[in-house]
Amino acid sequence: MRFCRFGEGRLGLVEGANVRDVTAALDVLPGCRYPLPTYDVLIANLEEVAERARTIAAAPVLPLSSLKLLSPVANPGKIVAAPVNYGKHAQEVRDNPALHNNNPALLKSIHTIGLFLKATSSLTGPGEGIALRMLDRRNDHEVELAFVIGKEARQVSRRDALQYVAGYAIGLDITIRGQEDRSFRKSPDTYTVLGPWLVTADEIPNPGALDLQLSVNGELRQKSNTRDMILGVPELIELASSFYTLYPGDVVITGTPEGVGPLAPGDTIEAFVESVGSMEVKVRAASEAPAAGHA
Ligand code: MN
């Protein structure tokens, strides 16, 4: 199943070029009182929501192209990110001072530096677009396979890891180049794009053999396959869950392949991950108002 979120907090099932509005299925979620859970309630109850969604016979059908798509996860407790997780990207960073800025933390391997976290407030959907800050500095695109944790994971071995995945999406890890810590440079509002929808894990038995690519204004910039990841999805879950508990709705972005490059206001990104789909994302300056959206 392919779950999308759109408009004002609506829930849809993507079926080809159409979306069935199954927002009514959210009624199965438990009511919440303060203090709210620190995990995503929809992802924690995804099977119940899916079951209810299947029974909504008269769900309105909307053309996908008319919808403003939001992040398929509304309230992740954390966004975990893998640095330098493709060999050729590690090499391009070492070779290019505009990428590493003589920042020693950028020249070390993932085995040495581990994972990092991005602010959850950086999360946005493809229909909302990217609002660039620090326009006097390089702002780069990074296309990544993203996955969403489906149940609590503590000290999980790589052998068992895939059963903790709820589903997959495309992640864009937008990055200001410079000296600051990764978590700071990669956490402005809209610098984590998740979309276009969540493909449930049953549809992707092997996340380690997926083509992915990114174009800017029609020009191909990044093209690779997840088999080139240094740590694959099972190894990333093993590593992350050895340091902290992963909760339903936690988003993990798995690192970018080579071909990162600068973005500017006015650009249009087209990103693709095999078995997930593709999404178009508009880039603007943070000082500009977002483009008037549709539904
Ligand atoms: Mn990245």
Count of domains forming the chain: 2
Last residue of a domain, one of 33, 52, 70: 70
Q: Is 46 in the same domain as 136?
A: no
pLDDT by residue for the chain (295 residues), tens only, comes to 999 999 999 999 999 999 999 999 999 999 989 999 999 999 999 999 999 999 998 889 999 999 999 999 999 999 999 999 999 988 998 999 999 888 887 888 999 999 999 999 999 999 999 999 999 999 999 999 999 999 999 999 999 999 999 999 999 999 999 999 999 999 999 999 999 999 999 999 999 999 999 999 999 999 999 999 999 999 999 999 999 999 999 999 999 999 999 999 999 999 999 999 999 999 999 998 776 555 4
Q: Is 140 in the same domain as 263?
A: yes
Measure 253 CA to ligand 1 centroid, in angstroms.
Answer: 7
Last residue of a domain, one of 24, 43, 70: 70
Domain interval for residue 243: 79-285
Measure 36 CA to ligand 1 centroid, in angstroms.
Answer: 29
What pTM, to 2 d.p., does this model score?
A: 0.96
CA dihedral 68, 124, 100, 259 (to 10 degrees): -30
* Domain presence at residue 293: no
Measure 81 CA to ligand 1 centroid, in angstroms.
Answer: 6
Q: Which residues of 63-97 are buried (b: 16+ CB within 10 A; e: fewer)?
A: ebeebbbbbbbbbbbbbbbbbbbbeebbebbeeee
- Domain with 276 in it: what CATH number? 3.90.850.10
Measure 52 CA to ligand 1 centroid, in angstroms.
Answer: 36
* Domain presence at residue 13: yes
Q: Is 138 in the same domain as 7?
A: no
Q: Is 60 in the same domain as 195?
A: no
Q: Is 220 in the same domain as 86?
A: yes
Last residue of a domain, one of 15, 43, 70: 70
Q: Is 50 in the same domain as 99?
A: no
